[in-house]
Amino acid sequence: MSISDGLLILAATPIGDPRDASARLALELQRADVVAAEDTRRLHRLCSDLEVKPVGSVLAYHEHNEAGRTAELVERMRTGARVLLVTDAGMPSVSDPGFRLVEAAAAADVRVTCIPGPSAVPVALAVSGLPVDRFCFEGFLPRKPGERARALANLAAEQRTMVFFEAPHRTQVTLAAMAAVFGAERRAALCRELTKTYEEVRRGSLAELAQWAQNEVRGEVTLVVEGAPARRAAPSEVVEEVLEQVAEGVRLKDACKAASASWGCSTKELYDLAVARQRASRM
């Protein structure tokens, strides 16, 4: 084989129902020289469901070993190996391992291709009932309250529909934080266990969903949140909103930047006014 024969194939795997697996995925599982899997146990379960058996070597490739294993896989491809990369569910690189390997393969002039298929992001968008003509994917928000508040403040003016992943035990806290920053009435959809037996999609305001999520939330969660409306206001009309975000732990500079983008007013004027209000309140 020549070096040009080497190939990296990113393959989407079912996010719930194994029947969503493509015929191409089943074929490549049987012909790849190497199958790199986020969790080899889940891979074997998928292969059992599809009634296929990998003929090549199977190895683990996940966030804890990808730094070291990437070089090994690239070297295999440089010598002609056909490498198939799969994650536990959905598309590799989309909030899952894969980007590092694609980057390294491209740098080594190894051809990279993809087997399209299931992904929670477009599925959640499709069933959300929110606009999907323009959207952005934000993955998981930071776990620490202050960092999470700052991340949300930076998104306060985002006019595209936003998609987030979240752990079930943090869903209520995240929805409450979104309601505090984006506004309690902002529309959203909570998509749980997509394509699985107990699939559930709840639509409502952020406040309503946060209230519902006070009960135990189970399963994989994808949140779809409506983008901010285009609007304009003077700094004097926005300053109280900024100070409320600061009280929630957002840095004044970040809150002013987000609010000015959202309301179309001067960041400097808003910052100066907020500082003046803070000083006055201490007197």
pLDDT in tens, 113-160: 999 999 999 999 999 999 999 999 999 999 999 999 999 999 998 999
Indicate whether this model's pTM tops 0.85: no
Domain boundaries, the chain: 3-118, 121-225, 235-282
**What is the reported pLDDT for 76?**
96
Residue 74 burial (CB count, 10 A): 21
Query: Apex CA 23: angle with CA 62 and CA 221, to 5°?
Result: 45
Half-sphere exposure of 30 (CA within 13 A, CB side): 9
Helix or strand or coil: residue 131?
A: coil
CATH number of the domain at 121-225, out of 3.10.20.30, 3.30.950.10, 3.40.50.970, 3.40.30.120? 3.30.950.10
Q: Is the dihedral of CA 40, 45, 49, 51 positive or negative?
A: positive
Cβ pair 222, 121 in contact under 8 A: yes
Separation CA 34–CA 44 (nearest Å): 14
Q: How far is CA 209 from CA 173, 179, 203, 205, in A?
A: 11, 9, 8, 6
**What is the reported pLDDT for 34?**
97
Residue 196 has pLDDT above 50, yes or no: yes
For the stretch 40-88, pLDDT in tens is 999 999 999 999 999 999 999 999 999 899 999 999 999 999 999 999 9
Q: What is the DSSP secondary-structure string of 180-205?
A: HHH-TT-EEEEEESTTSTT-EEEEEE
Banded model confidence at residue 4, pLDDT cuts 50, 70, 90: low
State the average pLDDT over residues 21-36: 97
CATH 3.40.1010.10 fits 3-118, yes or no: yes
